[in-house]
Amino acid sequence: MSETSAEDRIWTVPNLLSFLRLLGVPVFLWLILGPKADGWAIALLAVAGFTDWLDGKIARAFNQTSRLGRLIDPAADKLYVFSTIVGLLLRDVIPWWLVAVILGRELFVVSFAPVLRKHGYKALQVHFLGKAAMFCLMYAFPLLFLASHTGWYADISRVAGWAFALWGTGLYWWAGLLYVVQVRQLVADAKKE
């Protein structure tokens, strides 16, 4: 199998895991906003976080990386973060300012897409800091959700959840700023040619 055809693969285990994560997004929103089945919603978030880690491990270990995987994996991550912050905001679990800071970063990064396209680039590779930020946020939200309940675990979950949320948000913005540096370098290189 040539390298080009390997990159064009669709039916891989990592892609299947990413598709399943995508299918879980509306289920999560229904669980949190409809029947308010919080236990199932938290379990679904935990499974989504685990499969996010697992699909990357499998892709690298078994040479199952693909163009589609590089597209749907971050898309699934972003949809989970977006749906989770909206659901938790509507349930009064997280404050509006956290949602504004996270969505503000997304709008900031997306605003550079026309510049990339103008110079012939589609998208940049996801930076390690972006992955670390997503990791933190994927752990923060279930913990903050647990913290909104009563029980022995609530205080522990609140402290750990806010630690992950603040670290994740900070890293998310840092990765966004690095993205801008990358875009500026690409534009400068394109102008030299």
138 shares its domain with 188: yes
86 shares its domain with 160: no
Amino acid at 75: A
pLDDT in tens, 103-154: 999 999 989 888 888 887 777 777 889 889 988 998 899 899 999 988 899 9
The tokens 């752990």 sit on which residue?
Answer: 139
74 shares its domain with 104: no
113 shares its domain with 56: no
Domain count across the chain: 2
pLDDT bracket for residue 5 (50, 70, 90)? low
38 shares its domain with 9: yes
Following DSSP, what letter does each residue of 4-69 receive, concatenated?
HHHHT----HHHHHHHHHHHHHHHHHHHHHSS--HHHHHHHHHHHHHHHHHHHHHHHHTT---HHH
80 shares its domain with 147: no
Residues 169, 102: contact at Cβ < 8 Å? yes
The pLDDT of residue 156 is 96
62 shares its domain with 120: no
Q: Which of 63, 92, 121 is the last residue of a domain?
A: 92
Please state, in angstroms and rounded to a whole number, the distance separating the CA atoms of residues 81 and 189.
33
Phi, psi (rounded to 5 degrees) for 70: -70, -15
By residue range, what is the domain housing residue 117?
95-193
Residues 79, 22: contact at Cβ < 8 Å? yes
Q: Which of 65, 92, 119 is the last residue of a domain?
A: 92
160 shares its domain with 77: no
pTM of model > 0.75: yes
The pLDDT of residue 78 is 85
Please state, in angstroms and rounded to a whole number, the distance separating the CA atoms of residues 94 and 118.
38
88 shares its domain with 5: yes
108 shares its domain with 70: no
pLDDT in tens, 54-101: 888 898 888 888 888 888 888 888 898 899 999 999 999 999 999 999
pLDDT at 1 exceeding the cut of 50: no
Distance of CA 122 to the CA centre of its chain: 19
Q: Which of 57, 92, 127 is the last residue of a domain?
A: 92
- Strand segments, DSSP code E, in 76-132 are none
152 shares its domain with 66: no
The pLDDT of residue 91 is 93
108 shares its domain with 191: yes
Give the whole-number percent of the chain exceeding pLDDT 90.
47
Residues 146, 157: contact at Cβ < 8 Å? yes
Residues 141, 45: contact at Cβ < 8 Å? yes
